[in-house]
Amino acid sequence: MSSLRERIEFLAARDNQEWSDEDRAVFAQFKQALNRGEVRAAEPATSGAWQVQLWVKRGILLGFRMGILTDMSASSHALNQPRFFDKDTYPLRTTTLEDNVRIVPGGSSIRDGAYVAPSVVCMPPMYINVGAYVDTGTMIDSHALVGSCAQIGKRVHLSAAAQVGGVLEPVGALPVIIEDDCLVGGGCGIYEGTIVRERAVLAPGTILTGSTSVYDLPRGLILRRTADAPLEIPAGAVVVPGSRAVATEQGRDWGLSLYTPVIVKYRDERTDAATLLEDALR
């Protein structure tokens, strides 16, 4: 992939807005590498940290610069039907039966340039954006979003209306990472490069952002993003929506409290039984 990387970085550094057929062929090769999972916007390191692949994100952004707005409607002649217009470099991803991805009928979309592994289940309607990586055995439930460049591990369950935020810019920003065997409850929101470590459970309605403080009751810690590291939910943590009192005089007078996620426990046998995913659903 070194030659592909060099060609993508060369094109991304150019200022002109005119692209030859050869340039577009290089981008098409890059996009196919994304579709096959051969290149990723972020990759795990041996230390357990995650590393942003800057050249991959630059390549994704290159596609938007290179693209031409085109009519992507199912039927351009049916004017009373919904119409869709987007860059020709990012149509819907071509998926075939041989991909072994279960896409239930009902309005789901996967954008070209996203990797969706065999045995992933997509319940309608859901959406996977460009640069995303969804690993084997994961279920993406109805109204769930996998944002641009988000990295989703194996056997993850994104429950109904879960929102996994995307990030393309700034180029160096880490996308949201959800590691293997996590359960993300209905209506959860995970944004701004948060890392959810393996086997963690987010109860319905949990919101995690770069400015969120997470209170770890079992360990007596407060988890925050720092200048050097993103917010991380520890492996096996069970996180629920909570609140904390506003400590100012006015806050006390008005009886105000602010939302905060709380780690109430770490996974045990009861948690595993409650979060077991039925193989029959797959």
What is the band of 146 on the pLDDT scale with cuts at 50, 70, 90? Answer: very high
109 plus 249 within the same structural domain: yes
At residue 77 the predicted structure's pLDDT band, cuts being 50, 70 and 90, is low
Do the Cβ atoms of 184 and 141 come closer than 8 Å? no
For residues 218 and 184, what is the distance between their CA atoms, to the nearest angstrom?
Answer: 20
Q: Which amino acid is at 125?
A: P
Q: Helix or strand or coil: residue 282?
A: coil
Task: Show the tokens assigned to 195.
Answer: 């890392």
- Would you state the pLDDT for residue 275? 72
229 and 112 part of one domain? yes
Is the pLDDT at 81 greater than 80, yes or no? no
Euclidean distance between CA atoms 161 and 169, whole angstroms: 24
pLDDT tens digits for range 227-267: 989 999 999 999 999 999 999 999 999 999 999 999 999 99
Could you tell me if 149 and 233 lie in one domain? yes
Number of domains making up the chain:
2
pLDDT value of position 40: 97
Joined together, the tokens standing for residue 112 give 């070209």
Q: What is the mean pLDDT of residues 2-19?
A: 91
User: What is the domain-level CATH number for residue 13?
Assistant: 1.10.166.10
Give the pLDDT of residue 48: 85
Same domain, 104 and 48: no
Q: Which of 259, 277, 125, 145 is nearest to 201 (CA)?
A: 277
pLDDT (tens digit per residue) in 23-48: 999 999 999 999 999 999 999 988 88
Judge if 60 and 112 occupy the same domain. Answer: no
Full residue range of the structural domain in which residue 168 is found: 94-269
Q: Is 170's pLDDT higher than 60?
A: yes
Contact present, 113 and 92 (Cβ < 8 Å): no
Judgement on whether residues 65 and 147 belong to the same structural domain of the protein: no
Residue 156 and residue 232 share a domain: yes
- 259 and 246 in contact (C-beta within 8 Å)? no
Measuring CA to CA, which residue among 262, 150, 143, 134 is closest to residue 206? 262
Amino acid in the structure at residue 68: I
Mean pLDDT over 59-83 rounds to: 83
Cα separation, 149 vs 87, whole angstroms: 18
Residue 227 pairs in a beta bridge with: none
Whole-angstrom Cα distance, residue 70 to residue 68? 6
In terms of domains, do 190 and 258 share one? yes
Token digits of residue 20:
């030859």
Averaged confidence pLDDT in the chain: 93
Q: What CATH code is carried by the domain that includes residue 195?
A: 2.160.10.10
- Do 65 and 7 sit in the same domain of this protein? yes
Per-position b or e across 75-95, b if 16+ CB within 10 A of its CB:
eeeeeeeeeeeeeebbeebee
Per-residue pLDDT, 218 = 97
Q: How far is CA 203 from CA 44, 159, 272, in A?
A: 25, 10, 14
- pLDDT at residue 272 in the model: 75
